[in-house]
Amino acid sequence: MDISGHGQAKINAAMAFGGVPLVVQTLEGMFKARLDHVAIVDFEGFKAITDTLCGVEVKVPIAFTSSGSKGFTFAAGPQHMNGDQALAFVRERYAFTDGDYQRVRSQQLFLKSVVSTALTPATLTNPGKISALMRQISPFVSVDASLNAAAMGSLAVGLRDIGSSNVLFFTLPNLRTGTSPDGQPIVFKDDAAISGIEVAIGLDSLVSYMEKRAGVVQIAAGYFAAVGTSASPMRPPVEVKEGPFR
């Protein structure tokens, strides 16, 4: 895809070329929608958040042993994971025949489980518990300058009726795989289908759009809540605070 100032490249190259501002600019350009906020967590923060939640239970779809130095073994079915196990689970690709694609599905599945663990009705209807949760996870997350504690608390209250069953993850439609001029394996996006997603975001009808096109858009379990985006003209990139990057 087009990365401003750098020509055609993989979408994740935007982070290497221009950091978070260029990632935001690239995504806003693709969907013609504003990204109101940005949050970033690194691998150490990922582990710490998992442990802060006293672990996360994930229904593992495929039994495997991770290829990392610790070699965690995951049986199919419900597994309660600590931070180290969770990180191995979401990073693994070599154990699967479809590699990166299964890794994406694993990451989506884990994030859904985090939502289920953290955003319980008992938490989201209790301002005190919301504040406590924000204090616990804030050391491990870097956010844009406008997403302060008050804004996060307000957002959490606004999500009080949202649970894991209201969260949907999907993979953008693509046409085929191939190789870039410099020899990298790449996936070609489906511009026509992505234009439909752009329109659906603008009309706040993304849920119904996804449900009608489940055969085109690879959808993980659950339903999507379009929070934090709005159709609007482009605006200056998000400024990201310095955070606990390690």
Confidence bin at 242 (pLDDT 50/70/90): very low
Q: Which residues contact 154 (CB under 8 A, 6 or more apart)?
A: none
Task: Name the DSSP letter for residue 9.
Answer: -
pLDDT digits (tens, 9 = 90+) for 170-192: 888 889 999 998 899 999 999 99
Confidence bin at 234 (pLDDT 50/70/90): very low
Residue 24, pLDDT score: 95
Q: Which residue has the higher pLDDT, 217 or 122?
A: 122
Q: Of 156, 175, 144, 173, nearest to 243 (Cα)?
A: 144
Tell me, yes or no, if the pTM score tops 0.85: no
In the chain the domains, ranked by start, together with CATH numbers, are 39-162 (3.40.630.190), 170-219 (no CATH)
In order of 24, 81, 122, 143, the CA distances from 138 in angstroms are 22, 21, 20, 9
> In sequence order, what are the beta bridge partners of 81?
56
Amino acid at residue number 133: L
